[in-house]
Structure formats: C-alpha cells, structure tokens
Amino acid sequence: MIDLQLTDKTHDEERQGEALIVDAPLVRNGRKLYIESYGCQMNFADSEIVASILLDQGFETTGDYKEADVVFINTCSIRENAEQRVRNRLSQFGAEKRRNPKLIVGVLGCMAERLKSKFLEEEKLVDVVVGPDAYRELPQLLSEVESGHKAINVLLSREETYADISPVRLNGNGITAFISIMRGCDNMCSFCVVPFTRGRERSRDPHSIMAEAQDLFDRGYKEVTLLGQNVDSYKWKGNDADDSTEIEVNFAQLLEKVALISPDLRIRFSTSHPKDITDEVLYTIAKYDNICNYIHLPIQSGSSRVLELMNRTYTREWYINRIDAIRNIIPDCAISSDIIAGFCTETEEEHQETLSIMDYVKYDFAFTFSYSERPGTLAARKFEDDIPEDVKKRRLSEILIKQQETSLYRLQQFVGKTVRILVEGTSKKSDKDFCGRNDQNAMVVFPATEGVSAGQYVYVHIDRCTSATLLGTVVVEEPEIV
C-alpha cells in the first residue's frame, strides 16, 4: 500500500481543465520523483499511469519538489490561462534548478504535445518533453537526459490505451477512483485543442476495464468514474473473456458490465456528448440503481448558429430533445454542462439563447468559460476572435449568475428529504464534519457521527443548503429515499 497525499479537489476544480495542483509523494527506495498535474480528470488518470511506470523503476517520491531528483509537470492546453499557469510554475522549478543543476525537469501532457520541441527552445530549463501517448518511454527518456541530452517523445498512437498498466492511485480517499475507458477524440469542435493534443479516439478493451474495476472494489473502493472525452462513442470489438467468440461492446453494454460487479459499487462516467448519447444508455442508467443518476452533457452554446460554427454537430432543438429524453427515462437525473461565453461572432441575441436554454434545463451545475482562442484549431484558422474581452466577461458573469440561481434551486429540492450518500471522508472545512455525494452528485456535509466512516453508504436528512452544498444529519433507520 502506498501512502499518497493529494490536495483535495472540488467538483469545480475537477472540470476546470486548469485549476488543480497534485503533488504526489510516493514512498520507495531510490531517486526522488515529484509530480504535479493540471487539467482534466484524464490528465490526473494519466499521472497515475506515469507514477506506476516510475515506481516500477524503483523511484522514491516526495511531496516537496525542492528535494526531488525528477520533477514532472503534467500539463493542460485547453485555454490560454491554463498554459500560463504552467509557465509560471516552471519558472519556480527553474529557480530550484539553478540551485540544484542535477534536477531533471520534465513536461508531460497536452502542452508537451502541442508545443513539441518548441518547448525545449522556449523553456531552457526543461530537460524532457513527453506527449500523452509516450509514457511507456519515460525510463529510456530519463536515461537519455542522464547521459547529458535533452529528450523528447511526442508521438501520438492509434492503439495506446495503457490497458495493462495498473495505475498507482493518487487519490488519497481510497473510496473513489477514475478508470480511463478510452483516449483521444475524433470530434473536431472548432474551439478545441484536445484532438490535436490527445490524438485519435480509441477504446480500451472491456476485459482490462472490468479487471481494474473489480480490483478497486476488492480493495474497498466504492465508486468508479469511467472517463473519456466522449464516452458515448465507446466501441470495442474483439474476443470475449474466454477468447472464444468475437464480441462488440458499446458504452451502454460497458456500463452494464461494470454495474454488475456489485450493487455496492457506484458507477459514474464523463463526458457525454449530445450528438451520441443514446436512449439505450439512458435505459441502462435507469435499470441499475448503482449507475448514478447524473449526466454531464455539455451544451457549449444555446444558439444553433453558434453550435454550427463550433462544429458541435447538433442543434438547440436536438439538445432539448436529448434533455427531454433524459427527463422521461430517468426522472430524477441531475444534469450538468460546460458553457462557453463569447465564441467568435456570437451576438447578444445568441447569448440570450444560451441563457434561455439554461432556464429550460435548469442545470444542477455548470462549468463556464470565456472563449480562448487556441492556435491551430479550426476556429483559430477560420474565424476572428472578435468578441471584446469586456463583452465576454459580462456574458460570462450573466451565465454564472443564472447558474448560481439554478444550482440553488436544484439543491433546495432536496431540503427536507432524506438522501443516500457514499461517505468520502472528513469535510474540507472542518474535521468535525463528514462529506459525501448523493446519487445526483450533490455534495452533502453532515456532522461526524459515531459508527459512520468513509466508504459507507448512509442516509442523511437534508436540513438546509447553500448554492453548492447540502447540509444535514445522519438518520439511523432506513427511510424512504429520494
């Protein structure tokens, strides 16, 4: 068992694509490694693969980069400010390197892939640049650096899924874990850098996904989140577990397989795509109590014209149809979204269309962003980034205010009711309180109660709420639940 201490992350930070710092002190013999991650959940899952590869090399690790021999920063390119944050951090590592010239500094992830060898030219202190599909090469690349050369591997792959590498769990709670089920993205949303940094979409084989989920459950984990940029297009073809017949597995079938591991293992997944989410997926969610009633279904914009420019390949009406299907098939399903304010040529009326669809859906939660032009994307090549910063900012704040209202509205619906939650541990704000999420992914905080511990399912009566959190008390008897 490896003791890994991570900075706690909020729901908010998980999807910002830029906010979170992870320092992962792995403890073993040998040289010392420090890893820090930025970006989406996929990047955090990748850091767990990287940690596994280097542990096999006998690395000791540390939570303090000042005592490390190797510092890795796993980077995100999704918006300009995400990259700026990485550069600021690199200059701090640079100061350390001047003090300790033997320190090896490596840049991993999406920024490594986007900038490639330019990174080595621009940032003199960086020794090694490794793209998301080249982590198996890390030991060789580190050897090259030790023999006095700069090293780089940014080859993207059509096959790599790291299926056989057992991730070192960097999430300290021992209750919830991510499982990557696919890599890359074949959509070409015009604003998005991910297809360039992560390469072609490929699905991981279901046998290794099942084995990973089963292993986590056997080790006491109670919740897994299946990760992909577009989980609805998961598709795998190959031999069944006995190697006898050829099978094809889609996302609904994969969900069902994982749900059948145990009713005590909760399943979440992210991200769903409005063009691909099928009724079959919705019926599968409805059929199994342990598949959480929560769907992250990013809309990006409420205007069909803007959606077309974004190359999202659905319209406002199509999106509303998918929302209606969710509400019909899974009546108590929570829905969250990603929204971009101020995309190229967006008019005031089109911005209003975004606000009006937010009224229609009443999202439980939304991640909201100001459009940030990314070099090389379709939008950067085809359209002018013509919405002034102050207009983007104002539209974003209108979106944020609307979202705060609907988040509060959604949470208020739980007040006075009793919900079943999975206890994740003590609350961030006070160790006298516990926290956990309900089925719909709402965070619930309640006073620590004797006999209740992390990893248990408990019923909590909700007494009140803020716009982000439900507050309540544990009830002992099994009640009628929502």
Decide if residue 377 touches ligand SF4 (CB under 6 A).
no
CB of 475 closer than 8 Å to CB of 459: yes
Q: Binding to ligand SAH (CB under 6 A): which residues in 201-220? A: none
Task: Report residue 341 as tokens.
Answer: 């304010």
Residue (288 or 383) nearer to ligand SF4, CB: 383
Contact with ligand SF4 (CB under 6 A) among 24, 189, 333, 423: 189
Shortest reach from residue 299's CB to ligand SF4, in Å:
11
Instruction: Tell me the C-alpha to C-alpha distance, in Å, between residue 401 and each of 117, 168, 405.
Output: 42, 39, 6
Task: Report the C-alpha gap between 17 and 110 in whole angstroms.
Answer: 11
Q: How far out from the chain centre does Cα 293 lie?
A: 18
Shortest reach from residue 166's CB to ligand SF4, in Å:
26
How many amino acids of this chain bind ligand SAH (CB under 6 A)?
18
Contact with ligand SAH (CB under 6 A) among 22, 53, 55, 78: 78
Task: Report the C-alpha gap between 391 and 443 in whole angstroms.
Answer: 33
192 annotated binding-site participant: yes
Residue (343 or 414) nearer to ligand SAH, CB: 343
185 annotated binding-site participant: yes
Task: Report the C-alpha gap between 472 and 469 in whole angstroms.
Answer: 10
Find residue 457's DSSP bridge partners: 422
Residue (53 or 379) nearer to ligand SF4, CB: 379
292 annotated binding-site participant: no
Q: What are phi and psi of 342, to 5 degrees?
A: 75, 35
Contact with ligand SF4 (CB under 6 A) among 57, 157, 166, 187: 187
Contact with ligand SAH (CB under 6 A) among 372, 412, 449, 456: 372
Task: Report the C-alpha gap between 239 and 246 in whole angstroms.
Answer: 4
Whole-angstrom distance between the N-terminal and C-terminal Cα of the chain? 37
Find residue 109's DSSP bridge partners: 75
189 annotated binding-site participant: yes
Decide if residue 43 touches ligand SAH (CB under 6 A).
no
Contact with ligand F3S (CB under 6 A) among 17, 425, 436, 455: 17
β-bridge pairing 433-438 and 443-447: antiparallel
Decide if residue 199 touches ligand SF4 (CB under 6 A).
no
Shortest reach from residue 387's CB to ligand SAH, in Å:
12
- Interface contacts to ligand F3S, rule CB under 6 A: 17, 39-40, 42-43, 76-78, 109-110, 193-194, 197-198
